[in-house]
Amino acid sequence: MSSFLDNKSTSTHLPAPFTTTTSPRRSRTSKALRRTLTLLLLALIFYLYKDRLPFYPQPHSAPIHYDASDDASEWENDPIPAFEPLKRYSLDYGRAACWQDDGVWILRLSPVEMSALGLNRFADTNRTLDLVDEDAFCKRLRMFGASFWELPPRWPEGRPWCYAITDCVEPTRKVSVKVGYPESGGVWWLDTTHTKLLSDALFPKSRGLSKALTMGERCEVIESLGGRFCEDVEECPELDVLMGGVLKVYDDDW
């Protein structure tokens, strides 16, 4: 006869709420994740394509009216920065200048020429406001071959300003002559219109023009380069350029 315990199952049966079944929980988690991802995807699509939706209001802004004349008027009223030359002589600029006839005469000088014109080689010389003094200096500067630029300058297209007028603008009146004035009187002069010839055929002798220590040495250099002598500058038509004329070029002498 079997015992009461033998008729009982040895396996333990737990109530349904306590059974370890994971399938329903995983199913609920997957559904929630899919819903979240779907909502995020819809939000992204709406953000990317909202401008194409007919019912989505578009922002409106007032039209911009551009008037080029406004910029032009502002440009015309802007002051032009100062440009060289600013002084009678500047160590930084390295040229002498004087103002006359609505323009400026400019010339790069050797130490001998600066001494003859009374300019300090080691310090700046300011521009004078005395018209008589300025005219007198211009007359002497022109006798050494200064060139003339009209003022205000006509800057090249696309360049409203340059550091120096000589960097961007061709002279209105170009003078191409080197001169030397001996103590005995007269003038030695050399036509430098053919600058290539001066730099090639006459090099390095032409370096003497900037290395002469006295006016006498300068005259000797000009003579050695093929220069001419004139007893009176006012009697030599070739030198009218120093007093307002046009330099004549003699190709047959080169």
The tens digit of pLDDT for each residue in 97-117 reads 999 989 999 999 999 999 999
Query: In which element (H, E) is residue 94 found?
Result: none
Higher pLDDT, 5 or 220: 220
Whether the predicted pLDDT of 58 surpasses 50: yes
Q: What pLDDT score does 159 carry? A: 84
Beta strand 103-107 pairing with 228-230: unpaired
Round to whole Å and give the CA distance between 105 and 174. Answer: 10
Distance, CA of 147 to CA of 59 (rounded, Å)? 64
CA–CA separation, 74 and 59 (whole Å): 33
Residue that wins the pLDDT comparison between 55 and 183: 183
Which has more pLDDT, 134 or 203?
Answer: 134
- All residues at 6 or more sequence positions from 216 whose CB lies less than 8 Å from its CB, including other chains: 182, 183
Beta bridge partners of 99: 104
Answer with the residue of higher pLDDT: 90 or 49: 90
Q: What confidence category does residue 31 fall into, taking pLDDT thresholds of 50, 70 and 90?
A: confident
pLDDT at 252: 34
Tell me the sheet residues that pair with 149.
104
Q: Report the percentage of the chain scoring pLDDT > 70.
A: 69
Is the pLDDT higher at 108 or at 60?
A: 108
pLDDT of 166 strictly over 50: yes
Amino acid 253: pLDDT: 35
Report which of residues 52 and 95 the model is more confident about.
Answer: 95
Residue of higher predicted confidence among 148 and 70: 148
Average pLDDT value over all residues in the chain: 80
**Spatial separation of the C-alpha atoms in residues 181 and 198, rounded to whole Å:** 20
The pair of structure tokens assigned to 216 is 């006498």
Q: Among residues of the chain, what percentage have pLDDT more than 90?
A: 53
pLDDT at 186 over 60: yes
> Can you tell me the distance from the alpha carbon of 139 to that of 147, in angstroms, rounded to the nearest whole number?
12
Mean pLDDT of 184-208: 82
* 225 contacts: CB under 8 Å, gap ≥ 6: 190, 198, 202, 205, 206, 208, 209
- The mean pLDDT value for 200-229 works out to 91
* pLDDT of the residue at 199: 66
Q: pLDDT tens across 229-250, in order?
A: 999 998 999 899 898 644 333 3
Q: Which residue has the higher pLDDT, 196 or 111?
A: 111
**Three-state secondary structure along 219-252?**
HHHHHHCCCEEECCHHHCHHHHHHHCCCCCCCHH
Residues written for the chain: 254
Query: Across the strands, what pairs with 179?
Result: 189
pLDDT score, position 203: 79
